[in-house]
Structure 1
Amino acid sequence: MKQIALPFDELNPGRMDDCLIVTPANAIAFAALGNSSQWPGHCALLVGPARSGKTLMARYFAAQGGKVLDDADQISAEELFHQWNAAKNAGEVLLLVSGHAPGEWNIELPDLRSRIGAAQLLEIGEPDDELVEQLLLKFLRDRGTSIGPEALAFVVRRIERSYQAVEELAKQANALALAEGSAITLPLVRRLIAA
């Protein structure tokens, strides 16, 4: 696992804690962002579940000089085709970001459908154990709290493998610990997981 500090000082003033945690769940997608000259048609699609770090990766890519279209599946086919051509004519590398695989997009323009089908597909998987652990620690740290090793190990072994579940557990654990005036302990997380 490595944690990569991203250069967002200019993009997000006052936020010094933006970081991307790289584990096998997202390492291939992240590495491909640094190899955009090899993308077919100089375009890639970055897809993954909600809260999986797509926006952080896209911001990192944009900071390196790439062009990003977020929620690309929500852009009209005509506009997307126009943006694609504009990026190509300007010699820019284009990253399309979506929470949905390209097969789920409603693309009626045959030329656009074929271009998207030929683009490099970068997929972020559901979080692995290492990423669950690091995200939970980060989400709790962001809330000014922490979790002990025994409670952390318990959560990592039992939590649903989704980014939203990890973030929700961090919110609930912090709220319950504050309400009860206690630390985030093994008994506390046992109750949350059981619920």
Structure 2
Amino acid sequence: MTARRPLRDQLRLPLTTDIIGGAATFVRSGSNAYAVDALAAWPNAAGRVMALCGPAGCGKSHLASAWAERVGAIPLNGAEAALTDPLELEGRPVLLDIAQDADDETLFHLINLAQHDGGALLMVSRPSPRRWAVQVPDLRSRLDAVRVVAMEAPDDAVMSAILAARFAERSITPGDGVIDYLVLRIDRSAEAAAGIVARLDDEHRPITRALARQVLEASADLFSGTDEGLQP
């Protein structure tokens, strides 16, 4: 009989974060306030399974990891969650990031285990569980009944905070109006913010609106706004 690996060896599963930085970089705003409030009051008697969903770069994994730290949840990650013995999780809160990649059997066991005293399951994904492709009918019905909390793409306040944090990480003080200028013109994600800051840093020049405009015009993959009527 094969010996069971210790739980500490099974759980070396890194969380994937789609918003970079610590709690200080997370800004409560209209795009995430509902999710922030929902996690602050959960788990409770209203239900032990919740799904946190939203587009890439909206901060859902960051918010979920803060919840996991607060409640002492065990972090699992997508398909790798199948490596964990579900019996080792009984009576513990669990955070399942990239949840749509977990197999049907693992999802079914985790949802069942969340019903035990002390248990809870927070599933994080881009699409709602109602859109996941599953084959087990009982799992389909359980996922359809899960409470879904949605986050929106970062709004201006969140994007400004992300850009400021990315500049600070590189010890860069951007010129007046640079962050406001970028917020209106890059994609609404932490990835886009990190990308444009890196490109500006590569210029090895003071970060001004004129430089930001120049770099954006050369970066069609990040440019999503219009400069009509605006001057550097």
Band of TM-score, shorter chain: 0.7 to 0.9
Which residue number corresponds to residue 74 of structure 1?
Answer: 101
Q: Which has the larger radius of gyration?
A: 2
Write out per-residue CA displacement over residues 57-96 of structure 1, whole angstroms, 9 at most, x where no aligned residue: 1211112224211111011011111111122124312100
Is 2:211 the counterpart of 1:183?
no
SS at match of 2:27: strand
Which residue number corresponds to residue 177 of structure 2?
Answer: 150
Residues 133, 156 of structure 1: 8 Å contact kept: yes
Which residue number corresponds to residue 128 of structure 2?
Answer: 101
Which residue number corresponds to residue 3 of structure 1?
Answer: none
- Percent of residue pairs identical: 31
Residues 47, 97 of structure 1: 8 Å contact kept: yes
TM-score normalised by length of structure 2: 0.69
Residues 57, 154 of structure 2: 8 Å contact kept: no
SS at match of 2:66: helix
Residues 99, 124 of structure 2: 8 Å contact kept: yes
How do 1:1-195 residues align onto structure 2 when only pairs under 5 Å count?
18-19=22-23, 20-38=26-44, 40-65=46-71, 66-176=93-203, 178=204, 182-195=205-218
The residue identity in structure 1 corresponding to 2:99 is A
Structure 2, unmatched stretches of 5+, are 1-20, 72-92, 219-232
SS at match of 2:50: strand
Q: Distance in 2 between matches of 1:121 and 1:93?
A: 14
**Structure holding more helix per residue:** 1
Residues 99, 125 of structure 2: 8 Å contact kept: yes
Q: Distance in 2 between matches of 1:194 and 1:31?
A: 39
Structure 1, unmatched stretches of 5+, are 1-16
Name which of structure 1's ranges 69-78 and 37-46 shifts more when overlaid on structure 2: 37-46
Residues 45, 121 of structure 1: 8 Å contact kept: yes
Q: Distance in 1 between matches of 2:202 and 2:130?
A: 39
Tell me the C-alpha RMSD between the 2 structures.
Answer: 1.9
Write out per-residue CA displacement over residues 150-193 of structure 1, whole angstroms, 9 at most, x where no aligned residue: 222221222233332222112211222x2xxx211111101122
Q: Distance in 2 between matches of 1:175 and 1:80?
A: 44
